[in-house]
Amino acid sequence: MNYRHGFHAGNHADVLKHVALMTLINYLQTKDKPLFILDTHAGPGRYDLASPEAQKSGEYRHGIGRILGAAEVPEALKPYLDALRAENQGGGLTAYPGSPLLLARKLRPQDRLIACDLHPKEAEILAETLYPFPGARVRAGDGYAAVKALLPPPERRGLVLIDPPFEKTTEFADLAKALREAWKRFPVGVYLVWYPLKDRAAANALHADVVAAGMKDATTYELYVRDPAASPGMAGSGVLAINASYALDSVMRTAGPYLAKQLAQGPGARFTAARLTAE
């Protein structure tokens, strides 16, 4: 799988991921203590929905486009939608903020964000995107290596987003290894991991690895917009959350079924939440 995000910005996978991400950051910032945030696969930070890539795929129209245009939206989606509207002044939908920009806009003076990207050009664009935010810094290089270098953080409170592009056939295995390393170094951290649902067996293997590693409070939230057997392409995606059920469960159990209905592209659209390990 080669997940070139310019084609997919604002699609159903982004909606699921970013609803969870905004819920977590808002919850963690209810405490005044400093917060460290690590985004391991950040991308350029902002996507132009008028670009040839976005217009060719049109995926955002069946993702965020359906949400912003809906008559009624659950309160659980409000933090996410507020962030989207802040990026699109004037009421239109011309830009989609990636996770590093969403996070940077939430930084308080005592917080800091390190956003990583392996590709030099993407890291350069990301640095320009995050320049206005003094608490944000870009690290050009391997996000998995950053896990070893930066965890545990001196703040002792942290949110780690692992959102790989799945450009390599070994990505699920690499992801599982990095998550084990991160959790070993920083077991009290909050982790949010995104993964595609094109290979059910690979996703199940990741879940099994989390259980075998002894990680506490692991929960999955998965959204299918159609039956994966009905047509090719990515019919769904999931987020795996560690140490986050207290913040996410109630929100995702409200938001998830709504997203499955609102973003459905055919029969088989559904949302599921499953606890892998207890707190």
What residues act catalytically?
Answer: 163
Residue with tokens 């590693």: 213
Q: How far is Cα 138 from Cα 121, in angstroms, rounded to an integer?
A: 12
DSSP string, 128-183: HHHTT-TTEEEEES-HHHHHHHH-S-TTS-EEEEE-----STTHHHHHHHHHHHHH
How does DSSP classify residue 215? -
Distance CA 27, CA 81 (A): 16
How many angstroms separate the CA atoms of 85 and 62, rounded? 17
CA–CA separation, 264 and 260 (whole Å): 6
Which of 27, 25, 44, 165 lies closest to 100, judged by CA?
44
Residue 178 and residue 242 in contact, taking contact as beta carbons nearer than 8 Å:
no
Q: How far, in Å, CA of 243 to CA of 126, rounded?
A: 28
Look at residues 177, 188, 132, 228 and name the one whose alpha carbon lies nearest to residue 40. 177
